[in-house]
Amino acid sequence: MALAFDEFGRPFIIIREQEQKSRLRGLDAQKTNISAGKAVARILRTSLGPKGMDKILQSPDGDVTITNDGATILEQMDVDNQIAKLMVELSRSQDYEIGDGTTGVVVMAGALLEQAEKLLERGIHPIRIAEGYELASRIAFEHLERISHKFEFDGTNIEDLIQTCMTTLSSKIVNRCKRSMAEIAVKAVLAVADLERKDVNLDLIKVEGKVGGKLEDTELIYGILVDKDMSHPQMPKQIEDAKIAILTCPFEPPKPKTKHKVDIDSVEKFQTLREQEQKYFDDMVKKCKDVGATLVICQWGFDDEANHLLMHRNLPAVRWVGGVELELIAIATGGRIVPRFQELTPEKLGKAGLVREKAFGTTKDRMIYIEHCANSRAVTIFIRGGNKMMIEETKRSLHDALCVARNLIRNNSIVYGGGSAEISCSLAVEAAADKYPGVEQYAIRAFADALDAIPMALAENSGLQPIETLSAVKSQQIKENNPCCGIDCNDVGTNDMREQNVFETLIGKQQQILLSTQVVKMILKIDDVISPSEY
Amino acid sequence: MATGSLFKDEATEEKGERARMASFIGAMAIADLVKTTLGPKGMDKILQSTGRGHSVTVTNDGATILKSLHIDNPAAKVLVDISKVQDDEVGDGTTSVVVLAGELLREAEKLVNVKIHPMTIISGYRMAAECARNALLEKVVDNKLDAEKFKDDLMKIAMTTLSSKILSQDKEHFAKLAVDAVMRLKGSTNLESIQIIKKPGGSLTDSFLDEGFILDKKIGVGQPKRIENAKILVANTAMDTDKVKIYGARVRVDSMAKVAEIEVAEKEKMREKVQKIINHGINCFVNRQLIYNFPEELFADAGVLAIEHADFDGIERLGLVTGGEIASTFDNPESVKLGHCKLIEEIMIGEDKLIHFSGVAMGQACTIVLRGASPHMLDEAERSLHDALCVLSQTVNDSRVLFGGGWPEMVMAKAVDELARKTPGKRSHAIEAFSRALIAIPTTIADNAGLDSAELIAQLRAEHHKEGSTAGIDVISGSVGDMSELGISEAFKVKQAVLLSATEAAEMILRVDEIITCAPRRREDRM
């Protein structure tokens, strides 16, 4: 009611300018919200699983992205609906937290909304549905814990890690060489992982792409790759046992922050100033040389004269290196970032076994490899591929794989993939539902049905009969009491995901269920949507 | 119940069949566009820019054509992108890669219409591409060890590449130019050191390769026009009034007399600088930046040849050629490496005066001077030559060579066909389709040449049924010919890149089932 009357009977406006706002209330509002959420889920549904399809997204500027990654699709979609934006947020938070399963979480939320709609039609109060979902999600969460497996790995035995990463990659376009990609991802993560603290800082892994070559040429470099070339074309292209001075001050005359003016009013001043200036450059280069540096990496530009002096003193240099890269170089080479020339000391130099410049293709593309570093804690994954979109998609896929590997190092529990975990949870939730008296029972059953949506979508995308396949697998799970039965997407001939080596991380799955339940609860509680109409 | 729209205004979404149709059609349209330029009898296209002057480009180069198009279809953009990458990576085959990707999609569309899942098609294509690549690997010829034969191979490759371009009339001449230029690089792929100078006038056959270095600049007035045993200082320094680089410095004077004093000091400073430069014991000074009149005069007085404003590439190349270092400070004359050359002289090409450095220390760099009737012609000639140079420099690194004229496609098609027969399941349809797409390339070559493609391809196929056949399409005589006798060769690296990128692109487009287009960003209307 936007209009009320005060005690004298005069109209009293609560919401201004009624005709300019559109407003939805009650069941209508819920249904509208649900249908918007479902629409988003429907878009992502076909991307699920190893046979999932990609989407082309064209940005406002006409750039094309081709991807299979749920988070990326939603992020680049021009979504206007508030509920749809919630779904986008959902997928993003899964991406930040886990990195993988961004599609699954949205599909799951969509399925929960669909079930909720049916219950609403039967007249069940949305809050009761939300509570039922909450109970059910807890059951599923605990059930996942029970059916999960732990596997052991160490620096040498990484097979299981690779298998899990392969499961993630198999739904992406890179699945042609998923084995090598998974190996790269696992090795990269292990290289930077702190196994004792069970922590992985993914910032230490730099992913660099360059068009050209083929996907198989993608490599892991134990060192840093910088997309720059030497500042002077005639500097040496290869330096062995390099001592690197990492500078964040330019080879230019100093620019004090305070405003000042140097007035020249006589010939003497003019000449001293000139000498001063030349001394600056000479000093700078000399300081670098004196501490024994054989390579200078600088965040800023060089003056022509300084550049030549560097060249002259046989001190190769790289200029305009980005801040992030500079940090990585410092970590990898064990050097310190030096903000002033005065503070250069031999201890602050980084060390690298080999620094080389490499040219690509027919154009003037060069990159600098810094390898055999003192501390190989920073690594680079260098992606090659046929075109720009391919490289971008490979970057996203590798990011997912890296996240999965990191999650496994944090928590080495896995569940089996191919929808088997969802089916098993669905069975467990279904069985538990009967124990709850009250209306929640219906909501819990609905939750179990919603869990079936993921294996169903998997089967559908793989060209199988969804209902038939799902019921067959379900009965098989009960009959054999084996929670590893899933959908055989690749036509391998067995339903047992243990044999197919399809793993997913436990925390990823748990997070999916928790996050999607939360969002659905939030959407269900909305009963009034007020939006300004078009102006 | 009102269902609010999900997307912002003007954002569109296409799903399933429609999306697939849109991307197939877009990609095929692009492929058909460049199709007619394929092969030795391919036709050129005129591109007119929308910019001021409506400048016109006439070209046969796939990458150049596609680069200049304004395309809205996302799938078509993928094809444009692979063509660009092919250009950057190997330099040639930019048309073939687009045509092959287009054909692969055309075949895929047929398969999708008979309800084969795109993923099945993709897995079939992958197997086929792998098999095709192996088939090529088996047949490659590698003559790296035999220098004489290798050079012969290079020559053949250059001729094959050039035969589809505007230079085909004089392909032998240009092939020789290109091979000579690349051989001088001694294995480096840095095409920067090959300079191409275009001068309108004369005919294409007047083009020549110069072993020295030619700089498109004039010698300053009053300076020697010819220097023997030149010592060259290559520099990048300001030769106008030398600025004080210290931040915030400015000149503030209170009387005219002081201004004059400072002016004198400035001049003095310049004179000193020039003196320092001359103290290097040079007789030629090349600077990247401008040389003002005053220092120029000083140089002229000292009998030093001063050349101003050679651009950055020119300076780098000159440094490379003469073996001198690019200097910016001049305080230590004894440790600066000077460049040397036997003779510097001013030469005339057409009506322009150029500076010619001959007898240079390092033989890596060289200059190709192109002559031709019109600027368009020269531009196209440069592109063609660039293609040839790229391919050659890549071949020097990867010396594996194949025959041309549709031979590799037939070899691959044969191997892929055999694979299709062995493969059970639906994938075999996709593999068969791949082989059909491969054959489309020789078909297009024949069609473009106005030959009876159906007849020729059938003959070629029969010919290839024999083991070790070297048959291909001889466009000149319009029949099936022996490629080894005709000397038509192609680089393995180019073919491999074509095969892999085309398959990759086709796969990418096939995987798509939905296109979401954001609302185009509104341009602010000009007030």
Digit-coded pLDDT (tens) for B439-478: 998 898 888 888 888 888 998 888 888 877 888 888 888 8
Residue A251, pLDDT > 80, answer: no
Between B269 and B155, whose confidence is greater? Answer: B155
Gap from A475 CA to chain B (nearest CA, Å)? 28
Residue B238, pLDDT > 80, answer: no
User: Which residue of chain B is at minimal alpha-carbon distance from A57?
Assistant: B516
Which pLDDT score is estimated for A295? 87
- Dist CA B298 CA B306 (whole Å): 10
SS3 content of chain A, % helix, strand, coil (to 5): 50, 20, 30
What part of B 273-312 touches A (C-beta under 8 Å)? none
Share of chain B above pLDDT 90, in %: 9
Query: Is the CB of residue A300 less than 8 Å from the CB of residue B288?
Result: no
Residue B116, pLDDT > 60, answer: yes
Task: Tell me the chain A residues in contact with residue B101 when contact means C-beta distances shorter than 8 Å.
Answer: none
Average pLDDT of chain A to the nearest whole number: 84
Residue A130's pLDDT band, with cuts at 50, 70 and 90, is very high
Task: Tell me the chain B residues in contact with residue A385 when contact means C-beta distances shorter than 8 Å.
Answer: 504
Task: Tell me the chain A residues in contact with residue B327 when contact means C-beta distances shorter than 8 Å.
Answer: 308, 312
Gap from A346 CA to chain B (nearest CA, Å)? 27
| B313 interfacial to chain A (CB closer than 8 Å) | no
Which tokens is A332 given?
A: 């990898």
Nearest to B8 by CA among A270, A194, A534, A64: A534
Task: Please compute the mean of the pLDDT values over residues A172-178 and round it to a whole number.
Answer: 80
| A523 interfacial to chain B (CB closer than 8 Å) | no
Residue A140, pLDDT > 90, answer: yes
The closest CB to that of B261, out of A61, A267, A280, belongs to A267
Share of chain A above pLDDT 90, in %: 13
Residue B526, pLDDT > 50, answer: no
Task: Tell me the chain B residues in contact with residue A305 when contact means C-beta distances shorter than 8 Å.
Answer: 237, 328-329
| A492 interfacial to chain B (CB closer than 8 Å) | no
Share of chain A above pLDDT 70, in %: 94
In this complex, how many residue pairs, one in chain A and one in chain B, have their CB atoms less than 8 Å apart?
Answer: 249
> For chain B, what is the radius of gyration of the CA atoms?
29
pTM: 0.83
Task: Tell me the chain B residues in contact with residue A81 when contact means C-beta distances shorter than 8 Å.
Answer: 4-7
- Dist CA A5 CA A11 (whole Å): 5
| CA end-to-end span of chain B | 43
Q: Tell me if residue B44 is catalytic.
A: no
- Dist CA A412 CA B294 (whole Å): 76
Gap from B78 CA to chain A (nearest CA, Å)? 8
Active-site position among B87, B153, B210, B387: B387
What part of B 150-169 touches A (C-beta under 8 Å)? none
Q: Each residue of A154-172: pLDDT tens digit? A: 667 788 888 888 888 888 8
Which pLDDT score is estimated for B363? 62
Least confident of A181-190, B99-108, B141-150, B329-338: B329-338
Which pLDDT score is estimated for B3? 46
Task: Tell me the chain B residues in contact with residue A388 when contact means C-beta distances shorter than 8 Å.
Answer: 81, 85
Q: Each residue of B296-329: pLDDT tens digit? A: 788 888 878 888 766 666 777 777 777 777 777 7
Q: Give B192's DSSP letter.
A: G
- Dist CA A78 CA B517 (whole Å): 8
SS3 content of chain B, % helix, strand, coil (to 5): 50, 20, 30
Task: Tell me the chain A residues in contact with residue B332 when contact means C-beta distances shorter than 8 Å.
Answer: 312
Q: Is the dihedral of CA B64, B66, B71, B74 positive or negative?
A: negative
Which pLDDT score is estimated for B527? 45
**CB burial class (10 A; 0-12, 13-18, 19+) of residue B232?**
buried
- Dist CA B429 CA B125 (whole Å): 10
**List of E strands, B350-445:** 352-360, 366-372, 400-403
Residue B1's pLDDT band, with cuts at 50, 70 and 90, is very low
CB contact under 8 A, A28 and B513: no
Q: Each residue of A14-57: pLDDT tens digit? A: 666 656 667 777 788 888 888 888 888 888 888 888 888 888 88
Estimate the crossing angle of helix A453-461 against helix A102-121, to 10 degrees: 120
- Dist CA A357 CA A368 (whole Å): 4
What part of B 392-421 touches A (C-beta under 8 Å)? 393-394
Q: Specify the DSSP element, H or E, that contains A193.
A: strand A193-194
Task: Please compute the mean of the pLDDT values over residues B234-260 and round it to a whole number.
Answer: 72
Least confident of A298-307, B175-184, B304-313: B304-313
Residue A91, pLDDT > 70, answer: yes
For B216, other C-beta atoms within 10 Å of its C-beta total 17
Contacts of B186 (CB under 8 A, 6+ apart): B364
Which pLDDT score is estimated for A266? 75
Amino acid type, B197: I
Least confident of B87-91, B98-102, B390-394, B428-432: B87-91
What part of B 209-248 touches A (C-beta under 8 Å)? 236-238, 242, 244-248
Between A127 and A366, whose confidence is greater? Answer: A127
Residue A148, pLDDT > 70, answer: yes
What part of A 190-209 touches B (C-beta under 8 Å)? none
Gap from A314 CA to chain B (nearest CA, Å)? 11
Q: Which residues pair with B355 in a beta bridge?
A: B215, B346
What part of B 498-527 touches A (C-beta under 8 Å)? 500-501, 504-505, 507-508, 511-521
Q: Give B326's DSSP letter.
A: E
User: Which residue of chain B is at minimal alpha-carbon distance from A34?
Assistant: B3
Task: Please compute the mean of the pLDDT values over residues A119-143 and round it to a whole number.
Answer: 91
| B477 interfacial to chain A (CB closer than 8 Å) | no
- Residue at token pair 């430069």: B277
CB contact under 8 A, B328 and A271: no
Nearest to B427 by CA among B67, B131, B20: B131
Which pLDDT score is estimated for B2? 40
User: Which residue of chain A is at minimal alpha-carbon distance from B323?
Assistant: A234
Q: Is the dihedral of CA B245, B248, B249, B252 positive or negative?
A: positive
Task: Tell me the chain A residues in contact with residue B17 when contact means C-beta distances shorter than 8 Å.
Answer: none
Query: Is the CB of residue B231 less than 8 Å from the CB of residue B340?
Result: yes
Share of chain B above pLDDT 70, in %: 91
The closest CB to that of A261, out of B242, B248, B262, belongs to B248
Q: Tell me if residue B72 is catalytic.
A: no
Active-site position among B94, B367, B395, B423: B94
Residue B244's pLDDT band, with cuts at 50, 70 and 90, is low
The closest CB to that of B517, out of A51, A58, A363, belongs to A58
The closest CB to that of A28, out of B1, B89, B238, belongs to B1
Q: Give A361's DSSP letter.
A: T
Gap from B85 CA to chain A (nearest CA, Å)? 6
Q: Which residues pair with B178 in a beta bridge?
A: none
What part of B 1-20 touches A (C-beta under 8 Å)? 1-9, 11, 13, 19
Which pLDDT score is estimated for B327? 76
- Range with the largest mean pLDDT of A231-240, A480-489, B49-58: A480-489
- Dist CA A37 CA A30 (whole Å): 11
For B376, other C-beta atoms within 10 Å of its C-beta total 17
Catalytic residues of A, by residue number, are 69, 102-103, 400
Residue B219, pLDDT > 80, answer: no
Residue B88, pLDDT > 50, answer: yes
Which tokens is A149 given?
A: 């497996």
Task: Please compute the mean of the pLDDT values over residues A299-318 and round it to a whole number.
Answer: 81
- The full DSSP string for B42-95 is PPPEEEE-SSTT--EEEE--HHHHHHT-----HHHHHHHHHHHHHHHHTSS-HH
- The full DSSP string for B333-354 is GGGSPPEEEEEEEEEEETTEEE
Nearest to B316 by CA among B174, B193, B142: B193
Which tokens is B387 given?
A: 């293609």
What part of B 332-361 touches A (C-beta under 8 Å)? 332, 335-336
Q: Specify the DSSP element, H or E, that contains A160.
A: helix A159-169
Which pLDDT score is estimated for A10? 77
Amino acid type, A88: V
Between B20 and B310, whose confidence is greater? Answer: B20
Which pLDDT score is estimated for B91? 79
Which pLDDT score is estimated for A350? 85
- Dist CA B304 CA B87 (whole Å): 43
The closest CB to that of A214, out of B251, B327, B500, belongs to B500
Distances (CA, A) of A145 to A109, A394, A403: 21, 32, 20
- Residue at token pair 């060890």: B145
At A256, phi and psi to the nearest 5?
-65, 150
Query: Is the CB of residue B331 less than 8 Å from the CB of residue B320?
Result: no
Residue A417, pLDDT > 60, answer: yes
The SS3 of residue A113 is helix
For B36, other C-beta atoms within 10 Å of its C-beta total 18
